[in-house]
Chain A
Amino acid sequence: MNIRARCRDIALFFLLAGLAAPLANAAPLGLPAEPIPSDNPQTAAKIKLGDRLFHEQRFSADGKVSCSTCHEKQKAFTDHRRVSEGHNGLLGTRNAPTVINSAYMKTLFWDGREPDLEGQSKQPPVNPVEGGLPNHEALLEIIRADPSYVEAFREVFGVDAADITIDHYAAAIASFERTQIAGNSPFDRYQYGGDKTAMSEAAIRGLKVFTGQGRCVSCHRIEQNQALFTDNRFHNIGVGFKNIRGRVGEIAAEFIKAKNAGADVDRTVLADPDASELGRFAVTEDINQVGAFKTATLRNIELTAPYMHDGSQKTLEDMVEFYNNGGRVNADDPFSPFLSGGIRPLNLSGQQKADLVEFLKALTSPGVAAEVTSTRIITGKRGEPES
């Protein structure tokens, strides 16, 4: 039986049994209806399998790295590190974005190199600085050799051990990730729930800065009846520019040469800090997307430090200052010549900056906050005492 027919049968079963509850939750306050791909419907068994796969450490070269290593529930599905640490302590080049509400994203990864969660989930296990497995076959062998996995895949997808593919794995992980959506923040209750006391006075003033002089809302969007706080587009906001200043031409040319010779984008950008700074350009090779990265959602941002694609901003205050300087850490730093046309100095007052931070703190979903045990940024190696 093919996957689609099997899923349809399962969906039908739940429908007939009146058990649609885990599959078709109404969207939380402030979020739009969740997009579920028609060829990968949510089922309880698939979500459960995805949850297990998400936490499976055996899908890595040292047996210690799972999806949850860098997307840990207790850390709001991030790792609180500047950049993520893969197997054997290897460091990548990018900050782990939260899984929460990633179901709404139109492209995945900071440079949008994958179109969906399914595609995204396949890359880390075989990236040399993340999972470090030689190929997907190595991952599938682990699954096929584990009777409890074989049974679960049979139940969910109707396949025998030999027929389990990486696409089954990806479908299950994506289904689990699609359960991680969160709204109902103080902002949502204020904006969409009619509760004008849900946000503090400072946060309400901050919302004005956010939609006015701060110009934040143009990319971190708030709509009439929902807010994803992203435009799903790519912008050069000046982050990381200093690292490749004056060398962009040669780095871009080198990268294109390597890509034309067959180099993999996922591997190259996570292994080479210079290539990483090319951003969306690495995917599209479009000259006007150099250093452009995807607009991240701001939901639960208080719980997901550090910030930006390279984790270079430690606090919300630092981040606001960076934008206030027009995409620069210090007011006397040079601007990136590739800077997006939307980024310019904002001339915010100290009060406005403080209010903006208060507003950002009002984007935390209570359900997410309840799971988070610490928001401290981690600098030491995994397994060592946290500094």
Chain B
Amino acid sequence: MNGMTRRRFLRQGGALLAAGSLPLSLVEIAFGKSSPENFSFAFLSDSHITHIKGKEFVRNWDRGLIRAVAETNLLDPRPDFIFYGGDIAQLGTPEEIDHGLELLGGLRGDIHYIMGEHDYYLDLGEHWRKQLGPDHYSFDHKGVHFVVLNSILTYDEWTHDKWDTPLRRMKEMARLDNPQGSPFMVGEEQRAWLRNDLAGIDKDTPIVVMSHSPLQKIYKGWNFWTEDAEQVQELLKPFTKVTVLYGHVHQIQYNQIGNISFNSAMATAWPWPYPASFTQEASYLPRLTVNMNRADPFFERDATGWQFINMHTGDVDVHYILPDNRNRVVAFNDKLGHPADTVYQPEPDRIPPQRHY
């Protein structure tokens, strides 16, 4: 009885499983092969913990981070480590950063942190660095070279000379479409450090660069943008396989520029719409990005999420875990030579962009 329905049901169940389950069945068993080895890590980002007063914080953003931490702890096998993609805080106060770190303290495993502009522009990263150490560094893991950059710096004049108070500076940088804003950049000093860091690395070693802002130019008004992106890309060009992972955009983006694959992280706090829907001008949104379906405002976690990442033979598959929504996987596609959404890539399967009023 009802064979058709049952088969369809099972197939849909299976699709869900592949998209969002524990990665147990997804991690390719390739140990014993020549390096790089296969492994996975988790990637949480953009919690925007917001202090109200005393011990009160905005509940919604707290819950997003708490849920992401709890779900990350269910990953089995355990990820090798966890990246936090920046913007722990909303206005960069010690209270917000410390409360965020307390919630992140529930994670099982080592965490590597990336500086976001909301962590930085109040005290220029002082409290963050006091708690977490340097804002740019590199390390090697199972044959992959990881580089962490602070990509949210900007012109010295804007940072040091323009504002009466640190809080004013923080709030100006937090605004979207701010005519008084200033573009993010990695800056000359860090680029020199990066050049030096990469000098000793074999060109066939897979490189993963972690930054808060995209190291590509998408939409300047919201700083989905890094002013010196081309110069950073230039330093990465000699390597066979490079992946850039970034936070900041609160939406799923992916792109390929030459040898560099780009993947974004979802926020645990709230989603941003795609900037194309708010501007009449041409958008530089990566051509390959498939628009995210929009949030149901009742379900506060809808269109937020976190991700775990499978690295295999130096390529990256990003598994987006999206509460109250359908999980998605953006995987590096060997045939196409770029990252591709595993479900929505074929044109007819896509959810058309929706108009926002």
Contact = CB atoms under 8 A, between A and B. Distances in A.
Given A40-B1, A284-B20, A249 B74 contact: yes
A290 interface: yes
Contacts of B1: 3, 39-40, 118, 167-168, 170-171, 174
Contact of A284 (B13, B69, B321): B13
Interface in A62-106: none
Contacts of A14: none
A285 B198 CA distance: 41
Given A284-B13, A341-B323, A252 B6 contact: no
Contacts, number: 106
A337 interface: yes
Interface string A252-276: 1100100010000000000000000
B324 interface: yes
Interface in A123-178: 167-168, 170-171, 174
A174 B2 CA distance: 11
Contacts of A170: 1
Interface string B3-33: 1111001000100110011101000000000
Given A284-B20, A287-B21, A342-B298, A337 B2 contact: no
B120 to A, nearest CB: 28
B301 A341 contact: yes
Contacts of A344: 59, 300
A332 interface: no
Interface in A38-65: 39-40
Contact of A252 (B9, B74, B301): B74
Given A284-B16, A337-B66, A115 B74 contact: no
Given A39-B1, A40-B1, A115-B9, A286 B324 contact: no
A253 B73 CA distance: 11
A287 B22 CA distance: 7
B323 A256 contact: no
A341 B302 contact: yes
A190 interface: no
A138 B153 CA distance: 73
Interface residues of B, number: 38
B132 to A, nearest CB: 23
Nearest to A251: B74
Interface string B67-99: 101110111100000000000000000000000
B201 to A, nearest CB: 34
Contacts of A256: 22, 24, 76
A340 interface: yes
A287 B5 contact: no
A116 interface: yes
B67 A249 contact: no
Given A115-B5, A341-B301, A341-B324, A283 B13 contact: yes
28 contacts: A37-B2, A39-B1, A39-B2, A39-B4, A40-B1, A116-B2, A116-B5, A119-B6, A218-B298, A218-B299, A248-B70, A249-B74, A249-B76, A252-B74, A285-B20, A287-B20, A287-B74, A288-B321, A290-B71, A335-B63, A338-B71, A339-B63, A339-B67, A340-B301, A341-B304, A342-B299, A344-B59, A344-B300
Given A290-B71, A341-B302, 18 more contacts: A3-B1, A37-B2, A37-B5, A40-B2, A115-B6, A115-B9, A252-B74, A253-B76, A285-B20, A286-B17, A287-B22, A288-B305, A337-B67, A338-B71, A341-B60, A341-B299, A341-B300, A344-B300
The 6 A-B pairs of least Cβ separation, nearest first, read A341-B301, A337-B70, A341-B300, A115-B9, A285-B21, A167-B1
